[in-house]
């Protein structure tokens, strides 16, 4: 395992789940029973756990991260709640994931896209999201508003919605909606053409 994979990643730690209106997030994403969803850069998996309950036993949640400690935490939480429809993937989401192409309904990238931009891997991450999403599938990017924090990263690292849109458009995504999902966060949803 490379040094990058062994170390705690930038921004790892507290989940944004507790500071966003996650009910509004899931409502806006129109996640339903039986869907297949991907949480890219899932960390300890708060969103993955919640989405697993929504998609039910007929659905699947892929939770991908290279921070193995976080995946172990997610696996423990899922086991304690007897959740069996989460498939953890230990790996770099800027590389090909072990998910067939055009099989995912919704891909969530929650408060980590700015880190991928900082690392220079955002283009590849978005490309992988485009590969696994079904035609007209939804990419949802949750980010911190471009304002001074905390919580969240410094303002120079934060991404405004128009920056996110420019990052994803070369991969065939078009903006569907922009939502305020909390005092500190917004969510932009995009559809794959």
pLDDT at position 73 over 70: yes
Given a contact cutoff of 8 angstroms between Cβ atoms, the answer to whether 181 and 145 are in contact is no
Q: Exposed, middle or buried, 96 (CB in 10 Å: 0-12/13-18/19+)? A: middle
pLDDT in tens, 105-138: 999 999 999 999 999 999 999 999 999 999 999 9
The structural domains of the chain, ordered by start, are 3-192 (3.40.50.150)
Global pTM value: 0.92
DSSP state of 30: T
Q: How far apart are CA 181 and CA 25, in angstroms?
A: 7
> What average pLDDT does the segment 69-90 reach?
97
Q: What is the pLDDT of residue 18?
A: 85
Q: What is the dihedral of CA 187, 193, 115, 159, to 10 degrees?
A: -50
**What number is the average pLDDT over the span 51-65?**
97
Asked whether the beta carbons of 137 and 106 are under 8 A apart, the reply is: yes
**CA 117/CA 175 separation, integer angstroms:** 19
What pLDDT shows up at residue 13?
55
The CA-based dihedral angle spanning residues 159, 188, 85, 79, taken in that order and rounded to the nearest 10 degrees: 50
Q: What is the DSSP string of 130-187?
A: HHHEEEEEEEEEEEE-SS--SSSS-TTT---HHHHHHHHGGGTEEEEEEEE-SSSEEE
The Cβ-side half-sphere exposure at 108, using a 13 Å CA radius, reads 30
103, 132 in Cβ contact below 8 A? yes
Distance CA 169, CA 175 (A): 8
Whether the pLDDT of residue 3 is over 60: the answer is: no
Crossing angle (nearest 10°) for helices 68-80 and 46-55 = 40
């Amino acid at each position: 395992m490379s040094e990058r994979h062994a170390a705690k990643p930038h921004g790892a730690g507290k989940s944004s789940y507790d500071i966003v209106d996650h009910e509004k997030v899931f409502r806006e994403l129109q996640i339903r029973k039986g869907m297949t969803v991907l949480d890219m850069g899932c960390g300890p998996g708060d969103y993955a756990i919640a989405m697993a309950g929504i998609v039910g036993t007929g659905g699947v949640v892929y939770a991908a991260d290279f921070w193995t400690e976080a995946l172990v935490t997610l696996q423990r939480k899922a086991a304690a709640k007897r959740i069996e429809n989460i498939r953890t993937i230990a790996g770099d989401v800027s590389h090909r994931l072990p998910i067939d192409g055009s099989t995912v309904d919704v891909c969530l990238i929650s408060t980590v896209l700015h880190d991928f931009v900082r690392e220079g891997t955002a283009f590849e991450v978005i490309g992988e999201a485009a590969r696994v999403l079904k035609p007209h599938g939804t990419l949802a990017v949750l980010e911190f508003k471009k304002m001074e924090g905390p919580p969240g990263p410094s303002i120079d690292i934060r991404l405004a919605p128009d920056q996110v849109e420019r990052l994803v458009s070369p991969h065939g995504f078009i903006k569907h909606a922009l939502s305020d999902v909390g005092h500190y966060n917004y969510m932009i949803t995009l559809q794959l053409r």
